Amino acid sequence: MSPRITRANSRNALLDDKATAVPYCLRSRVPLGNASNVIGHSKAADKLPKKEKTARLKKERTKAKGKAPLPEKNENISMVCETVKQPVTHTAETVDVSQGAKRQGADPQTFSRLLLDIQDVDSADAVDAGMCSEYVLDIYSYLQQLEARVTMAIRPCYLEGQEITGAMRAVAIDWLMQVQGEFKLRQETMFMTVNLIDSFLQKTAVPKKYFQLVCVTAMLIASKYEEIYPPTVGDFAFVTDGTYTCEDMRRMEKIILKTLNYSLGKPVAPHFLQRACKVGQAGPREQEFATFLMELAVLDYDLVHVAPSLIAAAAFAASLRILGSGEWSSILQHYTGYKEETLAPVMQGIVRMLEKVTEESKWQEMKSRYAKVSTSVCGVGAKCVSSENVAKLLC
């Protein structure tokens, strides 16, 4: 058993080893587990052989002169080369270039604000840290860059040569909206489900008999990603009326995730619609109707390649035009990044789908949602939608 370390013992050890650099009061408070290490370190430093001391002095001199010491014989040269990095000299020119790269797009944006007298819509949210008013512009700029990536983009007419058609896709999405309402899932979950279906179908030709399995499994994956309490695998297997088992869904889940390389972070249209409604100071009527038009655009196979931010902006612009609440202003153009000329083709596609809702008997869920939205927005039904404004959009 080692002798007990006391104040006297530690003082005698310090006197014997001539380690008087550290005050006595600090030496006496060394923890029990580190006392011997601290004292032993001073011993080793004082009792070094002469050869080692000479080698150490040479290394210190070479470092002082700015020369890197040569690696010893037992050291790996490749490891030394990988870890050592030459310092980069920051001149005035390099600093200006790096800062200019970081602020790319910021100066024109600031200039346009001053020129057009653009209102800062995020100034009132400076008190609320959750609104991220300081870097909200950077967030949405990053989301637009993310949706434009080739790995996440959906190409037009990707179902050519497959058994599944655009009409079948619309019917399946309408059924998924019923499932969404039954499980009370978030809107982001529904849009992510559609994105997973399109991304998987454009990479893999799926037979017609497994199309429903792909759709319900995509909603299962999206629920795990977006929902706090997602439905279980058994719940999704139940909505298929026993057509597929839980084991079938687990196998399809692995196939979808491996095919998409686990890339699930694509932005969805509701994220951009919230921003557009805030910038445009939309009321409950315009926001609810724009949400319905955005959901309606998901069914259109001709709009699968359109970016989510463009879908959201076009849906909001169409709701303003149809309800007669205003026009596409310069503030909306500045914050969304889209001109009205760019939105026109997408708005026409959305309005065409709006006309099909009342005629298409297969879209039962969208017809019921259209009736609810018309009643809640206008209070008298679908007659609130201006036919003249709709005709203008179709021109």
- pLDDT tens digits along 210-237: 999 999 999 999 999 999 999 999 999 9
State how far the Cα of 70 lies from the Cα of 62, in Å rounded to an integer: 10
Give the best-scoring range by mean pLDDT among 9-23, 124-138, 227-241.
Answer: 227-241
Residue 36 Cα distances to 10, 121, 311, angstroms: 10, 64, 70
* Residue among 358, 332, 21, 306 nearest 191 (CA): 306
State how far the Cα of 145 lies from the Cα of 281, in Å rounded to an integer: 25
* Geometric angle at alpha carbon 231, from 229 and 235, rounded to 5°: 160
* Tens-digit pLDDT profile for residues 286-311: 999 999 999 999 999 999 999 999 99
Q: Mean of the pLDDT values across residues 25-35?
A: 46
Percent of the chain with pLDDT over 70: 66
Q: Mean of the pLDDT values across residues 176-191?
A: 95
pLDDT at 52: 64
Average pLDDT, the chain: 77
Say if residue 38's pLDDT is above 50: no
Say if residue 279's pLDDT is above 80: yes
State how far the Cα of 227 lies from the Cα of 192, in Å rounded to an integer: 11
Q: Residue 193 in contact with residue 219, Cβ under 8 Å?
A: yes
Q: Mean of the pLDDT values across residues 2-12?
A: 52
Q: Mean of the pLDDT values across residues 381-385?
A: 52
pLDDT at 63: 60
With 0-12 / 13-18 / 19 or more C-beta atoms within 10 angstroms meaning exposed / middle / buried, residue 371 is: middle
DSSP 242-294: TSS-HHHHHHHHHHHHHHTTT------HHHHHHHHHHHTT--HHHHHHHHHHH
Q: Residue 279 in contact with residue 121, Cβ under 8 Å?
A: yes
Domains of the chain: 1-48 (no CATH), 166-259 (1.10.472.10), 269-394 (1.10.472.10)
Q: Residue 180 in contact with residue 231, Cβ under 8 Å?
A: no
